[in-house]
Amino acid sequence: MELLRSYNPILVGTIPIDIHVSSSDLDIVCEVYDFDAFVAYTSAAFQCEERYQHTVHSDMLNPYAVVNFRFQGWEIEIFAQPIPTTRQNGYRHMMVEHRILQLLGSDGYDAIRQLKENGYKTEPAFAELLQLEGNPYEGLLELADWDEEQLSQFIIRFRSCD
């Protein structure tokens, strides 16, 4: 994280909200506007690490870069976009997932971990648990925009249907 500090890194995903399983990786989001400089920097910093690779997707509407490598037994993925890290989808997903888990309590944590152990990715696991229709990534982003009252009411209704 220290090496990435100029890119406003945030560790997102399952580990910060305590739903990781043995196959979980470390996901880091970064705010990047110059992808050439970012790739040059991360290549210099991490190219000697096991399984290092990077890709840049330069679609003008949604440019992003992904850097992957293995470090001290962890698979690491760095996802970079020209968007403040707290507005990136990975961060927004994690925040709403945390809010949902707080409302569901320990049973929710256990259920999500079990779905993940059974092969579900995180967002599809939440969609399965909450019976969300459609694209799980978009569905969670919709929930992320809800205030606490709306989310609480949804969870109450969800629980009453169990």
71 shares its domain with 98 = no
* Containing structural domain, residue 125: 89-161
Domain CATH code at residue 37: 3.30.460.10
Please, what is the average pLDDT of the chain? Answer: 93
79 shares its domain with 98 = no
Q: Give the pLDDT confidence of 18-42 residue by residue, as tens digits.
A: 999 988 899 999 999 999 999 999 9
Domain boundary pick from 19, 50, 83: 83
9 shares its domain with 77 = yes
Band (75; pLDDT cuts 50, 70, 90): very high
Q: Are strands 26-31 and 50-57 parallel, antiparallel or unpaired?
A: unpaired
> How high is the pLDDT of residue 59?
77
Identify each DSSP E strand in the chain by its residue range: 10-12, 26-31, 50-57, 64-71, 74-81
The number of folded domains in the chain is 2
- Give residue 55's identity as a one-letter amino acid code: T
Domain boundary pick from 83, 115, 130: 83
96 shares its domain with 131 = yes
102 shares its domain with 50 = no
Whether the predicted pLDDT of 162 surpasses 60: no
> How high is the pLDDT of residue 61?
82
Tokens of 3: 């090496």
Mean pLDDT confidence for 150-161: 82
58 shares its domain with 100 = no
Say which residues have a Cβ less than 8 Å from residue 102's Cβ, sequence separation at least 6.
none
CB contact at 8 A, 119 and 106: no
Domain boundary pick from 58, 83, 108: 83
